[in-house]
């Protein structure tokens, strides 16, 4: 992994993977962590993109990689990709 990416698997996880589909633009980082726990991967965005948090496929959302982009501490983009 590059220096701007780091796995956070050792961080406490909480919430439910099934909740990922309910995270919306405008939610705060704290709201996302409360619903889902810490992300599996965090990265710095390029330019004005902000930071990205990715949640890998897991029970309750087994075929989907979910990535949230944050700017100013709030979700500005939600991307859900099927990974089968």
- Is the per-residue pLDDT at 84 higher than 60? yes
For residue 17 the two structure tokens come to 């993977």
For the chain, which residues make up each domain, given as ranges?
5-82
User: Are 84 and 63 contacting, i.e. CB atoms less than 8 angstroms apart?
Assistant: yes
Q: Specify which residues 42 forms β-bridges with.
A: 6, 53
Residue 69 dihedral angles phi and psi, to the nearest 5°? -105, 130
> Does domain 5-82 fall into CATH 3.30.1450.10?
yes
Query: What's the average model confidence in pLDDT over 32-50?
Result: 85
pTM attached to this predicted model: 0.78
Residue-level pLDDT at 57: 92
C-alpha span between 6 and 38 (Å, rounded): 12
């Amino acid at each position: 992994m590059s220096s701007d990416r780091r796995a956070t698997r050792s961080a406490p996880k909480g919430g439910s993977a099934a909740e990922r589909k309910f995270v919306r633009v405008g939610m705060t980082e704290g709201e996302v962590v409360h619903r889902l726990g810490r992300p599996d991967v965090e990265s710095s965005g390029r330019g004005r993109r902000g930071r990205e948090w990715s949640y890998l496929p897991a029970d309750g959302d087994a075929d989907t990689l979910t990535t949230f982009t944050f700017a100013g501490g709030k979700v500005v983009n939600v991307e859900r990709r099927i990974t089968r």
